[in-house]
Amino acid sequence: MGLVWREQMSVANNLIDSEHKYLIDQINALETALNTKENHDIVEETLDHLVSYTKTHFDHEETIQRKIRYPQLDEHKLEHKQIMRNLYAIKNELDSILGTDQRDRESDNNDEVTDSELNMILADEEVEHSVTKQDLEPLIALIRSWIIDHVIGSDMKLKAYLIKRPVDFV
Ligand SMILES: [Fe+2]
Ligand SMILES: [Fe+2]
């Protein structure tokens, strides 16, 4: 059963709410991808998209927080940073499951998976067959909890400030 955005999750801002809905859709898409036969390419593509979309969303949210002079901006930004670090770590973990971890160990920067590395993973049909749904499921459960816990925990605190503004305030 997929996650569903509910009115109680609204932070009283159209942009943030619609981005949260989209994030939830993407988490659901990842879970759906796990259950498809040729899931590895789709899982990788969906995860890649989710990670970059999450970064974009965090940037938007921080811009709004700066504009409303949100008193907990620094704290909130730190949480965003930690989630991004965790998401990049999952991408690296996926590389290691796919047998490409050697390339990552050679790199000092474990925050980033480059496009060329991802392309190599996607091109490597042989190792993809060794990945099972059971390998990926716990990773996706972690992603879901990081994002959803943040949305219903920290993001909800924005509501008290955003409710004083027009819903389309950016
Ligand atoms: Fe958010
Ligand atoms: Fe946030």
| Residue of 116, 115, 137 lying closest to 48 (CA atoms) | 115
135 vs 79, more confident: 79
Average pLDDT in the chain? 85
pLDDT of residue 129: 52
pLDDT tens figures, 68-108: 999 999 999 999 999 999 999 998 888 677 655 444 444 44
C-alpha 17 to ligand 1 mean position (Å): 8
pLDDT of residue 64: 98
Query: Is residue 3 pLDDT above 60, yes or no?
Result: yes
pLDDT of residue 102: 45
Instruction: Give dist(CA 83, CA 59) in Å, integer.
Output: 13
Exposure of 148 in the CB half-sphere (CA atoms within 13 A)? 16
Instruction: Tell me, yes or no, if the pTM score tops 0.85.
Output: no
C-alpha 83 to ligand 2 mean position (Å): 10
Q: Show Cβ contacts of residue 26 under 8 Å, excluding neighbours closer than 6 positions.
A: 46, 49, 50, 53
Fold of 12-162: Four Helix Bundle (Hemerythrin (Met), subunit A) (1.20.120)
Query: Is residue 109 pLDDT above 70, yes or no?
Result: no
CB atoms within 5 A of ion ligand 2 belong to 61, 155
Q: What share of the chain has pLDDT > 90, as a percent?
A: 59
Count CB-CB contacts under 10 A for residue 121: 22
C-alpha 28 to ligand 1 mean position (Å): 17
Contact between residue 161 and residue 73 where contact means Cβ atoms under 8 Å apart: no
Instruction: Give dist(CA 66, CA 162) in Å, integer.
Output: 12
Which ligand number lies closest to the CA of residue 79?
2
Query: Is residue 113 pLDDT above 90, yes or no?
Result: no
**Both tokens of residue 117?**
């590395």
pLDDT tens figures, 8-44: 999 999 999 999 999 999 999 999 988 876 667 788 8
Which ligand number lies closest to the CA of residue 78?
2
pLDDT of residue 88: 95
